[in-house]
Each structure stands twice: as structure tokens, then as C-alpha cells.
Chain A
Amino acid sequence: MNAVIFFIFAASTLVGAGGVVLARNPVHSALFLVQTLLSVAVLFLLQDAELLAAVQVIVYAGAIVVLFLFVIMLIGVDRREALTETLRFQRPIAVALGAIVLAEIIFLTGHTWATGAATQSGVPITGSTSSGDLGNNIQRVARVLFTDFLWPFELTALLLVVAVVGSVVLARGSGDRSERSIEEPSSTADSESAS
């Protein structure tokens, strides 16, 4: 049962990923991206990572891709994308980096030194262990996030704030306050941080 679901949604993930690259229309690309994100959410559910699945749907499908579409709609999709490269050697470098990432992922799936040994493999997420009840997936994630990984967590929040301030500064231009749209850039930037 689980294997069947896995293969269906793994295939769906790959079809969506291919569609993102191959679709001619940017809106169709964004929709294929949503397909990929939702399929990955199902794969998360198969791994009992319910919170991750919910966050994936809410943040990525529900907010980020919506923002993509929002921008595409505002700018319009009629403009043809030029195929000439603005940065030289962009494509070879992209291929090389992609190959490195792929090799990295394949290497890491066989090793655990980067993530640490898998904890309590085979123990049901909702079950209690000898060290006491660890709670369900959500409670476990919360406990880890606010104890062991509190420092990186807060740093990430700071990073997002810096990104928001930076995008507001860029969108408003330096010193020139005569532009008409005052609220628009800041509101979209804020919603990125909220997500």
C-alpha cells in the first residue's frame, strides 16, 4: 500500500519537476511546481512527517508559489524570454553545480554522518519509548527546534528580517521617494517573511 502510494507520487513529483522546466508558459510552470510541492508533501506524510507536510502545503504551495503567480500576473506573461546568456559560462557552470548536488544527494542517502545516526528507527511516532513519551511528530519537532536548534532557528529568523529590509530598500530605490507605489513593495516583502 505504502509502496504503491510512494511510486505514484514520486512519479508525480518528477512529472511536475519536468513540467516546470519544459512548460512554455510561466503560469503553467508555476502550476507544475505546485504539483511537485504537493506530491512531495504526500511523500512527507508517508514518512510520518505530518508537520512538514502541512508546512510544505501552507508555506510553499499556499504562499510562495502564489507570490510567484502574483508577480507573473502583474508583470504579464507576453514578453518572450531572451535565450542569450547575460552571464558568460552560465550554462556549463549550472550543469556542473547540478551534477555536484546530485552526487551529494546520492552520497548522503547512504551515509548518516551529516545528519547524525537515525534516532529510534522503527519506533512509531506516536508511541512512547523507554525515555518517556516523546509525543507526536509536531511535539518532537517543536522540542528539537526550541532546544537543540534554538540558535540556528533564531539566526534564520534574523536572516529573513534582513532579507525583508533589503528587499524593501531595493524596491523603494535609494533616496528617491517620488515613486508612487509606497505600500505595494513592502506588503509583498512582508508576506514573504510571514511565510
Chain B
Amino acid sequence: MIRLFAADPLLTGDIDLTVLLIVIVKTLIIFVMLLVGVMLYIWAMRKVIADMQNRIGPQKAGPFGILQSLADGVKLFFKEQSEPAGSDHRVYLLAPYLSIIPAFLAFAIVPIGGTVSIAGHMTELQLADPAIGVLFLLAMSGIGLYGMMLAGWSSGSKYPLIGSVRASAQMLSYEAALGLAIVGVLVHSGTLSTRAIVNQQAWTGAGSIFTDWYWLPAIGAFVIFLIAALAETNHPPFDLVEAEQELTGGFNTEYTGIRFALFYLAEFMNVITMSAIAVTLFLGGPNGPGLGFVASDSWINTWFMPIFWFFLKLMVLLYATVWVRASLPRMRYDRLMDFSWKVLIESAFLWAMATGAIVVGRNEGWNLWILTPAVALGAFLIYFVLMACVPSDKELEEIR
């Protein structure tokens, strides 16, 4: 079974104590990094949104209010935990953990740095590099859905139940779009391993931003991925699962204290993980220019710069999520479902098929000047035929 993760050179030879220690330390670092990352993300989100709305935001706890999330966490931790009388006790206790554990696990496949040497062992700066790669992300987000569904159901209360039914329908729909958007990259890369995908986007000069990184060759998939990832993590404008105006909070209404905090932790961790996966798949992961005036094998260029580039790209995407949160109003529920099933999934399908045709054409040496317009025309034709089959809002009104 160890063979499954053997893509990491750390695990190819004998497994001795040092190797075990390295793996444990990597696990701990990712665990702590996610927790601290969520803390800082919530603080930055509140500050940035406050700025955009001409407010000051948190400012009392620590410098610039940076400890505000920590204070909130401590408060939630010591709060009394209540449970409704009509709840299903065991499932009620289980649900928060079904949310939080997949949220932690999903980050394991993200490459956050290059291949480095620790205590004589070469290792990749990521927790695991399984051959199934990005499928692991889809599996974990599939399991994470249970947390939300069961939380709403086991509360034995109406609003949470509506919230969880919404959650299951929404996340199932957008998971299909998310998976198909990922296919748009996988057709180019020919592999599922995140490390291999990152290595294909290696930095060879400023031009590789446009030629090697997958965001431009797979621009359609990139856009669909960003939208679907927002919906998959229940991030505004797709946060109907916890619409406080309609559902008094949604699936987590009946949770208090640390259990409530676990749901929020999981939600923000998922935002971070999805952004990290977007960086990995589309934006070159930890690849970026090294410092030219330092020797290429010094620790600055092997250790520091890849990690620096990864976190820089991650922060740009996370800032974009905050920007979206501050700017866009929540979608209407039927529009949300329509958008996934009638627009996103078709587009992602057609994009994957068109990419496949073009990749095959390039490998076989077909004339791309003829092939590309033909593929685009065919895709548009299929799209319009599909759209013609879907009844418009007006026709639906008449049927009703």
C-alpha cells in the first residue's frame, strides 16, 4: 500500500525513523498552517470588507485586530453546547467531524514547494502525491458534503433541514461542474498527479506564464473552475446553504460552541484548499523565477522562492474571493440550480471535448488553423442545439 504514495522520492527506499519523522513533521506543519491560515484569512476578510465598506473593522484585539479570530475561537470553545430535544444524538455529534476531517485531508495533495533535501532525504514539499491526485480532492469534497447534510437533518428542526437539502442539491450539482472543469486541465497534462501537473508548468522565462501555465490554454476550464469552486465551498454569492435572512442561519442553526466553530473552520479551510488547487492546476503552483544573483542551488532558490511564489499566488486568489464576497449579492435558488445544470456543466463538457480534439490534433500533426475554428464552430453548434432544447423562463411560466 505504501507503493501508492511512492511518487515522493522520500518513500522509495527503506522507511526508517527519519523518514517517519519527516512525514509526521510535514503533517503537523500542514495542520497548523491550515488553522493559522483560517485565522488570518478571517481577519483579513473582515479588514478588507470593512475597507471596501468604509468601516474600520476589527481593531481591539492585538495590532490591527489581528487576534480577533483567535479571541472568537477561544470564546466559542468555552461556550455551553446545547442540543435540541428532537435531535438524532449520534448523528448530531458526528456531523461536525464529517465536515472538518475531509477539509483537512484535501490539502494533503497540494504541492506547496519544490523538491528539497531534509536530513539526507530528498522529499517533495507536499504531504502526499498519490497517483489519483486531483481525484482525491473530489472524493474529499464528496465526503465533506455529508457533514452539512447530516447536521441539518439530525438537528430535528425545520430551517436546518431546508438548509441541508439545499446544500446537498447545490454541492452535488456544482461538484459535477467542478470535476468537468478539472478534466479540461487533465486532457492537457495527461496525468492526475498534482506534482506532475506542477512540474509541467515549470518556469522557463516570463513567456511560460502564457505558454506553460494552464490558465491560458485551459481558460474556459479556469473560469468554470473558479465559479464552481466558489459554489462548492458555499462561498458568497452561492451561500444559500446558510442564508441567514431566509433560514435563520441554515444547516448550522442548532449548533453552538465548538461544534459550530468546526463548521466555520471547515468552510474557510475549503476556501483555502480550493484556491490552492486552482493555483496548482492553473497558475503553475510553486513555480516562479528564482533570484538570479543567488546561486541556483542555495536554500533561497530551492526552499524559499517556490514557497514564496505559492503563497503569493494563493493570497491573490484568496483576496479575489474576499472581493467577490464584498461585491456580489446572493443568487436566487432556482437561478443557482439552472446556472449549474444549464450553463456550467454543458460548457465544461464542450470545453473538455474541444480540448481533447485540439490536443489529439496537435499530437497527430493536423493543421491547427483548420482544426481550431472547426472545433469551435462544432462546440457552438452543439451548445445552441442544447440550449434550444431547454425551455426558456417564459415557456416554463406558461406550462405552470
Contacts and interface: CB of A to CB of B under 8 A. Distances in A.
A67 B179 CA distance: 18
Chain A binding surface, main DSSP class: helix
Interface string B121-153: 000000000111001101101110110011001
Most A CB contacts (10 A, CB to CB) among B132, B145, B165, B399 go to: B132
Contact of B142 (A66, A137, A187, A191): A66
A51 B192 CA distance: 10
Interface stretch (A54-62, A83-91, A98-106): A54-62
Interface string A44-59: 0110101101110110
Contacts of B138: 54, 58, 62
Nearest to A59: B142
A194 interface: yes
B316 to A, nearest CB: 29
B91 A2 contact: no
Interface in A18-71: 25, 27-28, 31, 34, 45-46, 48, 50-51, 53-55, 57-58, 61-63, 66-67, 69-70
A14 interface: no
Interface residues of A, number: 44
A66 B153 contact: no
B109 to A, nearest CB: 12
B89 to A, nearest CB: 12
Contact of B172 (A57, A67, A126, A177): A67
B4 interface: yes
Given A61-B142, A180-B400, A70 B132 contact: no
A191 B176 contact: yes
Given A50-B4, A138-B132, A66 B168 contact: yes
B1 A70 contact: no
A12 interface: no
B4 A191 contact: no
A65 to B, nearest CB: 8
Contacts of B396: 182
B142 A62 contact: yes
A173 to B, nearest CB: 12
Nearest to A46: B1
A74 B132 contact: no
Nearest to A180: B400
Contacts of A69: 146, 149-150, 153, 168
A51 B132 contact: yes
B132 A50 contact: yes
B88 interface: yes
A67 B91 CA distance: 18
B51 interface: no
B164 interface: yes
A48 B172 CA distance: 28
Chain B interface bracket (under 10, 10 to 19, 20 to 34, 35 or more): 35 or more
A161 interface: no
Interface stretch (B22-30, B239-247, B337-345, B363-371): B337-345
Contacts of B332: none
A136 interface: yes
Interface in B157-172: 161, 164-165, 168-169, 172
Contacts of A150: none
Nearest to A56: B139
Most A CB contacts (10 A, CB to CB) among B4, B161, B164 go to: B4
A175 to B, nearest CB: 12
B51 to A, nearest CB: 38
Nearest to A55: B135
B175 interface: yes
Contact of A50 (B131, B146, B173): B131
Given A53-B132, A62-B175, A63-B175, 14 more contacts: A31-B150, A48-B3, A54-B132, A62-B139, A62-B141, A69-B149, A70-B165, A74-B165, A126-B3, A126-B131, A136-B131, A137-B131, A138-B131, A180-B400
29 contacts: A1-B1, A25-B88, A27-B91, A27-B150, A28-B91, A45-B4, A50-B130, A54-B132, A54-B136, A55-B135, A58-B139, A58-B179, A62-B138, A63-B172, A66-B149, A66-B168, A70-B169, A74-B165, A137-B131, A178-B400, A183-B334, A183-B337, A187-B337, A187-B341, A191-B172, A191-B173, A191-B176, A194-B176, A194-B345
